[in-house]
Chains A and B, each alone.
Chain A
Amino acid sequence: MDSQIGAELAICRRLVGARLRGQMQYRGSFIAQIAGNFGVNFVELIAILILFSHFGAIGGWDVGEVAFLYGLSCTSFGIAHLLGSGFSSFSTLIHQGTFDRVLVRPVGTLLQVLAAEMQIRRLGEALQGVLVLGAAIGFVGIEWTVGRLVYLPIVLASAVLLYVALFAIEATVCFWTTQATEVLNAFTYGGSDMAQYPLHIYDGWLRGLLLFVVPIGFVIYLPSLYLLDKPDPLGLPGFVPFLAPVAALAFAMAAAALWRLGVRHYRSTGS
């Protein structure tokens, strides 16, 4: 079984490498897209800075602390968007009937779809997130302990996993309908945007949604309370900031189960 997974990952690596070579063909547009993706986020950041120049703080968090949330969310979203490119273009795969081709190959469907596309231009998003995250860490002066040092990469990985799972769910819905993608965009883009601000500024129902339906709060906001040493205005138990990997794994497993259900549906209807 292990060698099976190893072999599949090797295939995956080959496929991804091939995709990269394919994209280099339109070099000018490619560079413009990386720069543009960087710029779209950059402009959002400028907007946030403009707001802070007038108001000073939001929900008791200052500009450095919000920049930390922003950097965390943008970095993980950018990486997830890059890794999950195959999911975000999945509706075309279904539309063109190319999913049949995936099913007649001796490799797992999830892996093939993931490897089918890798939009390097999305590196621009992640890059900008990393820069902001770095600047924010310098600005807020985190008190580094071993715990925080170890936990930060775990938080990032959890957030990436959660966003990839979110893209996977977006793709899975295409097995039933390809018309609802915009609704799901509201969850992916909307979710990552909302994660850029402290969770306690939102109304109760929205907070609940961001914690227990799409647990973005568990992988960005709550860990940041620990990393930035901020008090928890929501009054949750002391261990919740450490649940990021648990929440992400649980959500990813739910997404994988949903995917299998979707493939089964596809294979019984063929549409």
Chain B
Amino acid sequence: MITARGLSKSYWVARHRRGALGAMRSLVDRSGREVRAVRDISFDVAAGEIVGYVGPNGAGKSTTIKMLTGILVPTAGEATVAGYVPWNQRKSLASKIGVVFGQRTQLWWDLPLIESLELLRFVYRVPVDRFQANLTEMRSLLDLDPFLETPVRQLSLGQRMRGDLAAAVLHEPPLLYLDEPTIGLDVVAKARVREFLARINRERGVTILLTTHDLADVEHLCRRMIIIDRGRLLYDGSVEALRQRHGSHRTLVVDLEAGATIDGFVRDGVELVRADGPRRWLRFDREAVSAASLISSVVARAPVVDVAIEEPAIEDIIRGIYEGGLRAEPAVSE
């Protein structure tokens, strides 16, 4: 579905000059510095896969997606997407892909959702019967009915995202790009988005490439992930392998009853990493210790008000890979 070979994108950032004269000079003299947003990235995505494309802010995720949709022309490298070269055959490719930008809607701001969807039928030239069938399915899958007649500007973020998801798949694209589809959503809305994506992947065989910095998205949806940082590809392989290697630690957060203490609590594979007032952070190896047994041993020692388990943040894992230089299997091409 996607083949990318040596994709690179550099920007030229003009030097910023002070003062009105400086602004005038900047118009003529284009000296500045080169920013290499994406450097020599290669990967393949097979039809039917869900691939998580992750990395911290500014890593080059959006730039890659923009090249693979045909919005941006790369500085170097080759790619084919659904049989097209994206930047040369942008309009042909457009009918084969669905795109969701998490922070920007592609719906018409002041129109009811249903009208936006109907307009997109014309934009993508979807036959009426296919459109109706798809719309009916989306209405039940995404539960659109309660706000189908509401202008998009009045929708909550979660509702809007559901509308955007429907809009992205109405023309039955075999490939779906999602740029931060869960950003800013609450837990329930996030779960809903994930469930929808898993379902259209399973039932329609839609290939999905999604960028995110929420590891939970990747954990729920993807078997495979690609990690980039500072424009470079750092990891391409299964999520499971990555977690085993770098994300095996979780943190138990306990709120003790006033005056209670667990000082001196010792257990193999568990480490007290932080204490703040009645709150304690216990880092534990999920391979060695189960969360349930850890909680029960803490509760046995001191009265506990509340507990929570924190997953390792994707940034931490990526930082770990980046700093430690630990290369996970399968090997990474660079």
Contacts and interface: CB of A to CB of B under 8 A. Distances in A.
B115 A103 contact: no
Given A18-B115, A22-B110, A104 B123 contact: no
Interface string B69-102: 1111100000000000001001110110101010
B123 A11 contact: yes
Contacts of B123: 11, 105-107
Interface in A82-101: 96-98, 100-101
Interface stretch (A208-216, A223-231, A263-271): A263-271
Does more than half of chain B's interface fall in helix, strand or loop, or is it mixed? mixed
A186 interface: no
Contacts of B9: 270
A260 interface: no
Among A101, A106, A271, max chain B CB count under 10 A is at A106
Chain A, interface size: which category? Answer: 20 to 34
B10 to A, nearest CB: 10
A98 B99 CA distance: 13
A35 B124 CA distance: 38
A104 B119 contact: no
A15 interface: yes
Interface in A3-48: 7, 10-11, 14-15, 18-19, 21-23, 25
Contacts of A105: 94, 123-124
A270 B111 contact: no
Contact of B69 (A11, A25, A103, A107): A103
B111 A106 contact: no
Interface in B245-290: none
Given A18-B119, A22-B110, A103-B90, A267 B72 contact: yes
B119 A96 contact: no
A43 B154 CA distance: 38
A98 B20 CA distance: 29
Nearest to B9: A270
Contacts, number: 74
Interface residues of B, number: 33
Nearest to A267: B73
Interface in A208-250: none
A104 B11 contact: no
Contacts of B91: 106-108
Given A7-B125, A267-B73, A268-B73, A106 B87 contact: no
Nearest to A100: B71
Contacts of A11: 122-123
B33 interface: no
A96 B110 contact: no
A270 B72 contact: yes
A18 B11 contact: no
Contacts of B125: 7, 106
A101 B104 contact: yes
B175 to A, nearest CB: 12
Contact of A104 (B70, B111, B115): B70
5 contacts: A23-B110, A97-B104, A100-B71, A103-B69, A104-B97
